[in-house]
Structure 1
Amino acid sequence: MTTTRRNFLKGAAASGIVFCGCGLQHGARAQPGTARLPVKVGGKRVMTVDAHTHCYFHEALNLMGDAADKILPPVKGVPEHFIVIEQRLKEMDAMAIDMEILSINPFWYGKDRDTAAAIVKVNNEKLAELCASRPDRFGAFATLSLQFPDLAVQQLETAIKKQGLRGAAIGGSVMGEDFSDPKFHPVWAKAEELGAVLFIHPQSTPELAKRFKGNGWLSNTIGNPLDTTIALQHLIFEGTLDRFPGLKILAAHGGGYLGSYAARDDHACFVSPQNCNPDIKLKKQPSEYLNQLHFDALVFTPEALRHLVAQVGASQIVMGTDHPIPWEQHPVDHVFATTTLSDKQKVAILGGNAARLFGLKQA
């Protein structure tokens, strides 16, 4: 970044009414796809939902003090980290997206209780305000102070019951503490009780930072999918998903690497029983748990989407783009290009599954 965050914010605020955002500068000038609103399958109108989009708020970043300048990611479109509503809607229209589910990647897990609580309060109030302004176009995941599970339980209940948010976005761990740790059980119990969707979005794998150095942004391209994979593996193998069978989990980036090599899990404890806990008796094969999880379709190619559907089922997949970061700029075209999908499966992935998962009213 060649400018300071403070100078950037001054320029962004001058450009229009700013609520929140995440970065895609060239989204508006990207080569348009063929899909247009309203999207139709078999001649019938289909609601399209992007369940993986991002957002930041000025007020929450300011609470990070001197660390605030390090929050914004090194990606194209840094100014677009702060949504100008009409511009974001134009970008959504160009991508043939009816509705976005916004989320904020956690940057407060290392903060003290009061600071973390203040950041989450700002985030959730601003998200609720934004969604209320255009409920037909925006939904959102709440933020949680997961490093303080008792506080996270309260925040989740408020977010779902009072603020109208759709679930909660969480990292791949809490500063290296895996979600299967019993300390987090009260949070998962509350999420299961409320029917709240937990969106696992990775934050790289810091333990491998030395190996990620070099060309190719490996901390993201490898580190992010790996972080999600590890998180899901612990939830499976430690019996967390057996303990909370009604838990609704959505994993970013197609669930990382798990969908491509899940069958290996089914052999692990047979090949090396000494590396498995005899006191943990899973109710089904490890790979079968993928069929009770949900995944976004951010896997880039029709063949990758075909394979993910074959592994987890079309009913478990929703669209996701990382918008406005330009990983996937034509998500609807991606679904239509996957010719192995039936019309029913396309309708489900385009928005039907998300409507069911988040309790949305379909068009």
Structure 2
Amino acid sequence: MPEGRVDTHHHVLPPAYRNWLIEKGLYKARPVPWSVPRTVRMLDDHGIRTAIVSTAPIGLRLDAEDLAPKAREVNEFTAEMAKDYPDRFGFFATLPLPDVDAALEEIRVAYDEFGADGVLLPTNVHGRYLGDPDFEPVFEELDRRNAVLFTHPTGVGGTPAPGIPSYVADYLLDTVRTAIDLVRTGRTVKYPNVRVILSHGGGFVPFAAHRMATAPATWGDLSTAEVVEQMRSFYFDTALTASPSSLPSLLAFAKPGHVLYGSDWPFAEEEIPYYNDFLDTHDMTTEQRDGINHANAQALFPGRIKD
């Protein structure tokens, strides 16, 4: 087991926040015990040097008037984690979209007062994807701050397929949707200083990018090659992705330096040993392995991850 991994897909469930989600009827997942001490033990057990934490995405489905104060509450909590354990934790600040003004204020507070390492946004906000014109000021500010944007799926709109939880299939599709939307609306070109991380290996972006890029009505003046190149320029984490079929596809597709380690703790606690074992034993170059484990994240978060 390598030491010194950097985990960029690592969730927190502050007790007050979790209880509030339960009261709102939003937390329906299996019971997940979570605490800061337990998380520190997890880092030690899996050779993780630092985790850049983010809240569970289920709370991001709320209306803005509910979300804004809860976003601040969670950001204060994660900022305290990073303050108390500066070598073990950084954090992605939750932004309360669709309220653009509140999101801009949270960016200011998160960076200037709390020392955030990046921001968290859902793949869609009440069915509006990240390329929505109303969200342009948020991207302008993130670009100005050279921000890292971690986007996590919340599930596509509409009725879930019977017997298939959203996280099993819809999460993957929604990540693909937001990736397509960011490229087709020009966000990836207009705001090059915003480094976007796609969760769970980008869903099925690496596997199907060339197929998706051959739809002229979607891409306007972009050629197939240009679409694929922009898709390759996203960052991808390995949460629930380091398997014999998905990891080779991801490594073949992503630009060098654009694959990051992700555990999906605590929701994937039981699965982590399997995916970590495959990462440790898969045939890849030393540069690729070191990049996934720590070097690529160090390049994204130089203020947090030191030599």
Provide the residue aligned with 2:151 in structure 1.
200
Provide the residue aligned with 2:237 in structure 1.
296
What do residues 253-286 of structure 1 show as CA deviations (whole Å, max 9, x unaligned)?
00111111100133211xxxxx3475x6579621
Preserved contact between residue 253 and residue 297 of structure 1 (Cα < 8 Å): yes
SS in 1 for 2:166: helix
Is 1:71 matched up with 2:22? no
CA 108–323 in structure 1, closer or farther in 2 if over 3 Å, else same? closer
CA 112–161 in structure 1, closer or farther in 2 if over 3 Å, else same? closer
CA 227–283 in structure 1, closer or farther in 2 if over 3 Å, else same? closer
User: Residue type matched to 1:72 in 2?
Assistant: Y
Identity %: 25
CA 237–142 in structure 1, closer or farther in 2 if over 3 Å, else same? same
Provide the residue aligned with 2:264 in structure 1.
322
Q: Which sections of structure 2, spanning at least 5 residues, go unmatched?
A: none
Provide the residue aligned with 2:211 in structure 1.
264
SS in 2 for 1:180: coil
What do residues 50-82 of structure 1 show as CA deviations (whole Å, max 9, x unaligned)?
110111223345666941xx233423xx241x3
Is 1:160 matched up with 2:160? no
In 1, Cα distance between the equivalents of 2:137 and 2:242? Answer: 36
What do residues 66-119 of structure 1 show as CA deviations (whole Å, max 9, x unaligned)?
41xx233423xx241x31x33222222111111111111151443243x32211
Q: TM-score, normalised by structure 1?
A: 0.77
Identify the match of residue 201 of structure 2 among 251, 254, 262. Answer: 254
In 2, Cα distance between the equivalents of 1:138 and 1:159? Answer: 15
Identify the match of residue 80 of structure 2 among 113, 120, 129. Answer: 129
Is 1:349 matched up with 2:292? yes
Identify the match of residue 174 of structure 2 among 227, 235, 245. Answer: 227
Q: Which has the larger radius of gyration?
A: 1
User: Residue type matched to 1:71 in 2?
Assistant: L
Q: Which sections of structure 1, spanning at least 5 residues, go unmatched?
A: 1-34, 40-46, 270-274
Provide the residue aligned with 2:120 in structure 1.
169
Q: Where do residues 179-190 of structure 1 align in structure 2 (5 Å cutoff)?
A: 179-190=130-141
State the shift of 1:362 in Å: 3.0
In 2, Cα distance between the equivalents of 1:64 and 1:306? Answer: 37
SS in 1 for 2:95: coil
- Aligned residues, how many? 302
Preserved contact between residue 157 and residue 194 of structure 1 (Cα < 8 Å): no
In 2, Cα distance between the equivalents of 1:310 and 1:108? Answer: 32
- Alpha-carbon RMSD across the aligned residues, in angstroms, is 2.2
Is 1:287 matched up with 2:238? no
SS in 2 for 1:191: helix
If each structure's strand is expressed as a fraction of its own residues, which one has the higher value? 2
Greater displacement, 134-143 / 236-245: 236-245
Q: TM-score, normalised by structure 2?
A: 0.91
CA 206–166 in structure 1, closer or farther in 2 if over 3 Å, else same? same
In 2, Cα distance between the equivalents of 1:185 and 1:120? Answer: 20
Identify the match of residue 120 of structure 1 among 40, 63, 71. Answer: 71
User: Residue type matched to 1:161 in 2?
Assistant: D
In 2, Cα distance between the equivalents of 1:332 and 1:242? Answer: 34
What do residues 206-244 of structure 1 show as CA deviations (whole Å, max 9, x unaligned)?
3242xx112xx3422111101111011111112221221
Preserved contact between residue 92 and residue 118 of structure 2 (Cα < 8 Å): yes
Preserved contact between residue 172 and residue 202 of structure 1 (Cα < 8 Å): yes
Provide the residue aligned with 1:310 in structure 2.
252
What do residues 131-185 of structure 1 show as CA deviations (whole Å, max 9, x unaligned)?
1110111111101111101210121122122201111111111010111111101
CA 150–234 in structure 1, closer or farther in 2 if over 3 Å, else same? same
